[in-house]
Amino acid sequence: MVPSSTTELMDTTEQTNANVDDDRLTLNNVIFAGSGHSKCVICREETRRGMISMPKSARLDLLIIHLMYAPNGVRCCSSHLLNNNRLLPDVEISMGNRQQLASSLSSSEMIDLVTDLLSLLHEAVTSPRLDFLDPSLNDEDYLTWTGWTKAQFDNMFDIISPYLRSSSNRNTRNALAMFWIKLKTNLSFRQIGSVFNIPGNSEDRRKRAADAFDSVRQCLIEKFVPRHLGVQHLTREDAKKQNTSFSIEFFGNNVTIIWDGTYLYMGKSSSHLINRKTYSGQKHRHLIKFMSLILPNGYILDTIGPFWGTMNDASIAKNITDTCDILMKWCEKGDTMIVDRGFRDVIESFIDMG
Ligand SMILES: [Zn+2]
């Protein structure tokens, strides 16, 4: 972002033909959007409700993409902007009645123009190199960086953004992006801080990226995960809809849950105790375990964990049935639990459950 916008400015300077006759300056290639406050600078409609003073970043988009300069204070409809911040990429600009910027620029107007351009440039230099408010980021960019499409990302953001405390909309959106970038790419927090151009030295950057990650994590656990995981997110009726004709034939049309242990490999910890507790003698690697509760058609009802890699499926299931009151209450007599032979020690608890 930084090098390209610098070039942009230099190009414009080269294309600027200073006409010295009668002390006025002519910019041939930049269109002056007009400074009047009575019309929208984009569509030239008369001022009406929903019009706002055009933010700096949108004026910068207008200048870079459309070579059109709009001075500080011009107004536009908020419908041309994304999140009241950036210019929508496909916005159509009404070209009627525009003057070339050059036609009249006195020396005092020139000073205002340069000051304003410098502040636009400052905005460009200090903005994130990767900005999830940037409307030019497409689905593929979102998938590559976060693992989600733009629509999925927006949906998640809408749910958790009211609970994320931050100074600006841009910060909360980028914080959610940082969280998924960390999980998707495993870049260090220092690297992520640099990608998002977080101000400060590299230690400040690392800390602020890590803090953002942590607050998003807490927010997702509290506000997002319960909507999609855990026995409380489905009614028994909904769970029965996930039965297949095969499971109905064999186990009847009750709730049928398949229990199976799964695991995630992890790196070695610097703590000896954690290393011992996560080492699986069976797989000869360090791992953490989760217990998955699956409905017959593959719908994931719940994932419980994490558990130490040294625990076996039965001790994990025992642990869960001992402590999980919600699951006990949710299950009814006649429900089927499908398990493999690793569970034979906890068969009693399953019988208690129904
Ligand atoms: Zn408009």
What is the tens place of the pLDDT at every residue in 175-214?
A: 999 999 999 998 999 999 999 988 888 899 999 999 999 9
Determine contact, residues 327/320, Cβ cutoff 8 Å. yes
How far away, in angstroms, is 42 Cα from ligand 1 center? 5
How far away, in angstroms, is 196 Cα from ligand 1 center? 31
Phi, psi torsion values for 291, nearest 5 degrees: -105, 120
**CA 227 to mean position of chain CA atoms:** 18
Determine contact, residues 255/270, Cβ cutoff 8 Å. no
Structure tokens at 207: 């800390």
How far away, in angstroms, is 39 Cα from ligand 1 center? 8
How far away, in angstroms, is 151 Cα from ligand 1 center? 26
Determine contact, residues 156/122, Cβ cutoff 8 Å. no
Q: What is the spatial distance between Cα 291 and Cα 312, in angstroms, rounded to a whole number?
A: 10
User: Which residues neighbour ligand 1 (ion) by CB within 5 Å?
Assistant: 40, 42-43, 77
Q: pLDDT of 295-353, one tens digit each?
A: 999 899 888 888 888 887 777 877 777 667 777 778 888 888 888 777 776 776 676 66
How far away, in angstroms, is 207 Cα from ligand 1 center? 41
**Per-residue pLDDT averaged across 129-157, rounded?**
90
How far away, in angstroms, is 173 Cα from ligand 1 center? 26
**Per-residue pLDDT averaged across 280-298, rounded?**
89
How far away, in angstroms, is 41 Cα from ligand 1 center? 7
Structure tokens at 302: 């719940």
ipTM for this model? 0.96
Handedness of CA 10, 12, 15, 19 (dihedral sign): negative
What are the residue ranges spanned by the domains of the chain?
Answer: 2-126, 139-227, 253-353
Handedness of CA 245, 250, 255, 256 (dihedral sign): negative
- Pair type for strands 68-69 and 279-280: unpaired
**Per-residue pLDDT averaged across 138-164, rounded?**
92
How far away, in angstroms, is 350 Cα from ligand 1 center? 65
How far away, in angstroms, is 214 Cα from ligand 1 center? 40
Q: What is the CA radius of gyration of the chain?
A: 29
How far away, in angstroms, is 76 Cα from ligand 1 center? 5
